[in-house]
């Protein structure tokens, strides 16, 4: 068991071997996620092997490629969830695969396309660009790209999403 | 802790909301990876046989593990072209060699090698640059090798590039990995413009598999059994 957050997921950091297997590389930004101890003492930290719920992580600085950095890592103020930042980057990977372009330059309100998606307008962006994708794909991307990590899909919800479950 | 308890907590971790994490415990700093373990290495001129042409030649820049038991290494690496520059050095392709039958003369003798079909990529990290940039750059190559070795400690993970060998000598760290002949997924997307949805799903599924590995969560298994688990 690993309990590791990659923090630098991108299309450049996924290599493909001769049998079309995708392999993630560049673990230089990886961090080990802290987990709650079973003792009930809230400050106590253990690793993933105790089978407990993970903790949020104090800000660790901005990292990752500009297109892929989540808003909370960019802001670098609040404790973040190690899973949620990788989910965000995975959404950018999926967006680029489906649309052929990154959704925005930076997950910042200075970026008009980020503002549009934060308002729930991902479908409008897709219409403007005239690169149609399925309604399920739009729904999945919009909910993975929720600015507030509280509202972002969990890994479970992503895997359980109709777009991912379609055969 | 039995396997089903762990599966259940993996499920909980995978499904947990931000608020649950916030309410359950206080935030913390990340924990450290165990220090990486480096093997001893030697870099030699070696006699290499090419089975497909029948030729044998002495080549430079072959390196391999010096095992303390004196046995031959499972792979030797013949350094080839530069694939990529990195902050602390570069990544080069390598031809993987093995000892020819009866060709082993000890780790410091002149052994006889032959070419295998296997290719490797080796990240060569210059230790003088590591010392120079220590603490000045967010990317720490020693952390990368520690993370890679940690993730490989129970064997290769399905969608994380594994580490075959990790060596250190006076000047360099050598991080040896399989060579991925199809390059970056980025290049494949770029050449296609964009993917049809089933193609994107194929790659995205593998990326989710990484999340499972990185968090060690057997999602497909649990998704199949989730109703059982949740009752």
CA distance A117 to A138: 11
Closest by CA to B48, choosing from B139, B112, B95, is B112
CA distance B163 to B148: 7
| Nearest chain A alpha carbon to B18 | A150
Classified as helix, coil or strand, B104 is coil
The answer to whether B117 faces chain A, any CB pair under 8 Å, is: no
pLDDT score at B225: 44
CA distance B3 to B165: 31
Domain ranges of chain A: 4-165
Sequence-ordered list of residues with C-beta below 8 angstroms from that of B85, at least 6 positions apart, any chain: none
Classified as helix, coil or strand, A22 is strand
Interface of B with A in 41-100 (CB under 8 A): none
Which residues of chain B are in CATH 3.30.200.20 domains? 41-178
User: Which pTM does this prediction carry?
Assistant: 0.91
- Contact assignment for B180 to A16 by CB distance below 8 Å: yes
CB pairs < 8 Å spanning A and B: 234
Classified as helix, coil or strand, B201 is helix
The answer to whether A76 faces chain B, any CB pair under 8 Å, is: no
pLDDT score at A66: 97
Q: Is-contact A99 A105, C-beta < 8 A?
A: no
The answer to whether B189 faces chain A, any CB pair under 8 Å, is: yes
What does the pLDDT look like over A75-118, one tens digit per residue? 999 999 999 999 999 999 999 999 999 999 999 999 999 999 99
pLDDT score at B227: 39
| Nearest chain B alpha carbon to A16 | B182
pLDDT at B9 over 50: yes
Q: Which residues of A touch B142 (CB under 8 A)?
A: none
Q: Which residues of B touch A152 (CB under 8 A)?
A: 18
From the list A15, A61, A131, the residue facing B184 with the nearest CB is A15
pLDDT score at B1: 54
Tokens at residue A133, please?
A: 């994708």
pLDDT score at B219: 45
pLDDT score at B154: 83
Interface pTM, i.e. ipTM: 0.96
CATH 1.20.1250.20, domain A4-165, yes or no: no
Sequence-ordered list of residues with C-beta below 8 angstroms from that of A114, at least 6 positions apart, any chain: A103, A104, A106, A107, A108
What does the pLDDT look like over B108-149, one tens digit per residue? 999 999 999 999 999 999 999 998 887 777 677 889 999 999
| Nearest chain A alpha carbon to B11 | A156
pLDDT score at B213: 57
Q: Which residues of B touch A163 (CB under 8 A)?
A: 197, 201
Which of the two residues, A2 and B62, has the higher pLDDT score? B62
CA dihedral A129, A132, A133, A138 (to 10 degrees): 50
What does the pLDDT look like over A29-59, one tens digit per residue? 999 999 999 887 888 899 888 888 999 999 9
Closest by CA to A103, choosing from A59, B82, A115, B70, is A115
**CATH number of this structure's domain B41-178:** 3.30.200.20
Interface of A with B in 111-130 (CB under 8 A): none
Sequence-ordered list of residues with C-beta below 8 angstroms from that of B168, at least 6 positions apart, any chain: B38, B39, B40, B41, B127, B174
- Mean pLDDT computed over A4-13: 95
| Nearest chain A alpha carbon to B15 | A156
What does the pLDDT look like over A126-154, one tens digit per residue? 999 999 999 999 999 999 999 999 999 99
Percent pLDDT > 90 in chain B is 70
Q: Is-contact A5 B213, C-beta < 8 A?
A: no
Percent pLDDT > 90 in chain A is 86
pLDDT score at B25: 87
Quickly list H helices, B177-217.
185-192, 197-214
Residue B231 — very low, low, confident or very high, per pLDDT cuts 50/70/90? very low
pLDDT score at A126: 97
């Amino acid at each position: 068991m690993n309990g590791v957050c990659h923090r630098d997921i991108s299309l450049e950091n996924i290599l493909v071997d001769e049998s079309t297997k995708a392999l993630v590389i560049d673990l230089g930004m990886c961090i080990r996620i802290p987990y709650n101890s079973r003792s009930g003492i809230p400050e106590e930290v253990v690793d993933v092997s105790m089978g407990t719920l993970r903790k949020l992580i104090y800000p660790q600085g901005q990292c990752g490629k500009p297109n892929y950095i989540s808003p909370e890592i960019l802001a670098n103020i609040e404790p973040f969830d190690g899973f949620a930042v990788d989910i965000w980057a995975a959404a950018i990977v999926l967006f680029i695969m489906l649309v052929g372009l990154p959704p925005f330059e930076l997950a910042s309100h200075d970026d008009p396309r980020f503002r549009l998606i934060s308002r729930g307008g991902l479908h409008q962006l897709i219409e403007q660009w005239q690169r149609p994708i399925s309604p399920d794909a739009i729904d999945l991307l919009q909910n993975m790209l929720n600015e507030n990590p509280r509202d972002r899909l969990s890994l479970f919800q992503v895997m359980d999403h109709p777009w991912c479950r379609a055969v | 802790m039995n396997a089903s308890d762990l599966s259940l907590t993996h499920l909980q971790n995978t499904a947990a909301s931000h608020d649950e994490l916030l309410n359950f415990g206080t935030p913390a700093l990340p924990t450290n990876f165990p220090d990486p373990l480096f093997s001893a290495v030697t870099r030699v001129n070696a006699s290499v046989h090419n089975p497909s042409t029948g030729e044998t030649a002495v080549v430079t820049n072959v390196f391999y593990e010096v095992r303390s038991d004196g046995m031959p290494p499972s792979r030797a690496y013949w350094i080839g072209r530069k694939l990529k520059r990195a902050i602390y050095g570069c990544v080069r392709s390598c031809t993987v060699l093995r000892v020819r039958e009866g060709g082993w003369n000890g780790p410091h003798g002149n052994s006889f090698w032959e070419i295998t079909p296997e290719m490797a990529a080796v990240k060569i990290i210059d230790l003088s640059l590591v010392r120079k940039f220590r603490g000045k750059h967010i990317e720490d190559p020693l952390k990368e090798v520690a993370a890679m070795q940690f993730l490989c400690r129970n064997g290769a993970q399905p969608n994380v590039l594994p580490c075959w060998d990790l060596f250190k000598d006076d000047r360099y760290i050598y991080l040896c990995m399989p060579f991925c002949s199809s390059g970056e997924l980025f290049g494949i997307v770029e050449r296609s413009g964009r993917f049809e949805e089933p193609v994107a799903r194929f790659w995205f599924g593998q990326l989710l598999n990484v999340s499972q590995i990185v968090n060690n969560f057997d999602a497909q298994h649990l998704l199949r059994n989730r109703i059982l688990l949740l009752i």
